[in-house]
């Protein structure tokens, strides 16, 4: 069954590539707007041989990884803090509900003024957007802590730190992983946005340059790269998350029996 699905999927992908080749070749769309897949592949080959491309890719990944790391650490630390200190969760709820939906792109002009096209601009946007994803999931996770387990830990006289370490954290971990997965995808979107709009060095900036210089096949090649990058991040984050979830459920199963 599985093999059959993979074959169908491969066929679907082949059909997609064929379509991307045929539509411009048949003149259904002008080649200057949408070059055939083979020309995009050519341009991709040229890009891959270009050192500047790899520098740009490195820049994008640096902004993504650094921003994500800051957001994850901050999200976890603040999330745990809010849950452990009495009344803090309640006191911050309305503020979080207000700040969270603020689109991070609203900060673009501020980023430009403060950091120009430096890494700081990318980080500001990436951290702001992905921080909330992590924080919210941590808070969900802590809410899910079994009150019986918490009571047991208290009755055995476990201190705050021990309770965080042995009760709260194991329960919240799968949620944290979900938060990291969501944050990883959002971080890439914002990293590319910052490069594209502000001009911070990276794939996004390279796409903007290709667009203004009418290098259409190169632009599509770079977009394909961005897509592959997004795909790898999604797949990687999902497999990490699944591992964390599997561990969680096996533990749960033992408790339930």
Partner 1 sequence: MRPLLLRLVFALALPVVLVAVWWVSSADSEDVYWPPLRTILETFPGVWTGERWRGDVLPSVLRLAAGYVLAAVAGVALGTLIGSYRRVRAVCEPVLEFLRAVPPPVLVPVIMLFAGIGDTMKIVVIASGCVWPVLLNTVEGVRAVDAVMTETARSYGITGAARLKDVVLPSASPQIFAGLRQALSIGIILMVISEMFAASNGLGFTIVQFQRSFAIPDMWTGILLLGLLGFVLSVLFQLVERRALGWYHGLRAAARRSR
Residues in 54-73 at the binding interface with partner 1, rule: CB under 8 A:
none
Work out whether the CA dihedral 150, 153, 159, 161 comes out positive or negative. Answer: negative
Structure tokens, 132: 């909330």
By CB under 8 A, tell whether 33 contacts partner 1: yes
Decide if 166 contacts 153 (C-beta within 8 A). Answer: yes
Q: Which of 227, 239, 251, 252 binds partner 1 (CB under 8 A)?
A: 227
Separation CA 219–CA 32 (nearest Å): 12
Q: Residue 69 CB: number of other CB atoms within 10 A?
A: 14
Separation CA 113–CA 189 (nearest Å): 21
Angle at 99 between CA 132 and CA 184, to 5 degrees: 20
Direct distance between the N- and C-terminal alpha carbons of the chain, in angstroms, rounded to an integer: 33
By CB under 8 A, tell whether 13 contacts partner 1: yes
Residues in 175-214 at the binding interface with partner 1, rule: CB under 8 A:
188-189, 192-193, 196-197, 204, 207-208, 210-211
Rounded to a whole number of angstroms, the minimum distance from the CB of residue 233 to partner 1 is 8
By CB under 8 A, tell whether 51 contacts partner 1: no
Nearest in space to 149 (alpha carbons), one of 177, 179, 169: 169
Minimum CB distance to partner 1 smaller for 27 or for 101: 101
Return the H-helix or E-strand segment holding 18. helix 2-25
Rounded to a whole number of angstroms, the minimum distance from the CB of residue 221 to partner 1 is 12
Minimum CB distance to partner 1 smaller for 177 or for 202: 202
DSSP letter string, 103-137: -GGGGHHHHHHHHTTSHHHHHHHHHHHHHHHHHHH
Rounded to a whole number of angstroms, the minimum distance from the CB of residue 165 to partner 1 is 25
By CB under 8 A, tell whether 18 contacts partner 1: no
Residues in 132-171 at the binding interface with partner 1, rule: CB under 8 A:
none
Rounded to a whole number of angstroms, the minimum distance from the CB of residue 33 to partner 1 is 5
Q: Which of 128, 131, 175, 220 binds partner 1 (CB under 8 A)?
A: 220
Structure tokens, 145: 């802590």
Applying CB under 8 A, the site for partner 1 has a residue count of 59
With contacts defined by CB under 8 A, name the span among 48-56, 85-93, 159-167, 242-250 that binds partner 1. 85-93
Q: Contact letters (x/-) for partner 1, 98-137, by CB under 8 A?
A: x-xxxxxxxxxxx-xxx-----------------------
The burial class, CB within 10 Å (0-12 / 13-18 / 19+), for 105 is middle
**Which residues are near partner 1 by CB under 8 A?**
4-5, 8-13, 15-16, 32-34, 87, 90-95, 98, 100-110, 112-114, 188-189, 192-193, 196-197, 204, 207-208, 210-211, 216, 219-220, 222-223, 226-231, 233-234
């Amino acid at each position: 069954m599985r093999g059959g699905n993979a074959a169908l999927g491969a066929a679907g992908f082949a059909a997609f590539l064929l379509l991307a080749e045929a539509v411009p070749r048949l003149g259904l769309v002008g080649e200057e707007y949408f070059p055939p897949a083979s020309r995009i592949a050519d341009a991709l080959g040229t890009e891959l041989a270009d050192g500047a491309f790899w520098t740009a890719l490195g820049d994008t990944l640096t902004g993504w990884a650094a921003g994500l790391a800051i957001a994850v650490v901050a999200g976890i630390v603040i999330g745990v803090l809010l849950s452990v200190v009495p009344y803090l969760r309640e006191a911050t709820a309305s503020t979080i509900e207000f700040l969270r939906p603020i689109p991070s792109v609203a900060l673009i002009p501020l980023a430009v003024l403060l950091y120009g096209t430096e890494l700081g601009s990318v980080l500001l946007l990436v951290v702001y957007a992905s921080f909330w994803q992590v924080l919210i999931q941590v808070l969900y996770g802590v809410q899910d802590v079994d009150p019986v387990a918490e009571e047991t830990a208290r009755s055995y006289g476990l201190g705050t730190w021990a309770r965080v370490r042995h009760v709260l954290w194991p329960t919240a971990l799968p949620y944290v992983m979900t938060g990291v997965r969501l944050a990883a995808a959002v971080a890439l979107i914002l990293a590319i946005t910052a490069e594209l709009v502000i001009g911070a060095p990276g794939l996004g900036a390279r796409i903007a340059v290709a667009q203004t210089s009418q290098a259409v096949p190169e632009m599509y090649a770079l977009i394909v790269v961005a897509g592959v990058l997004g795909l790898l991040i999604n797949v990687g984050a999902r497999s990490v998350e699944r591992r964390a979830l599997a561990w969680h459920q096996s533990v749960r199963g033992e408790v339930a029996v």
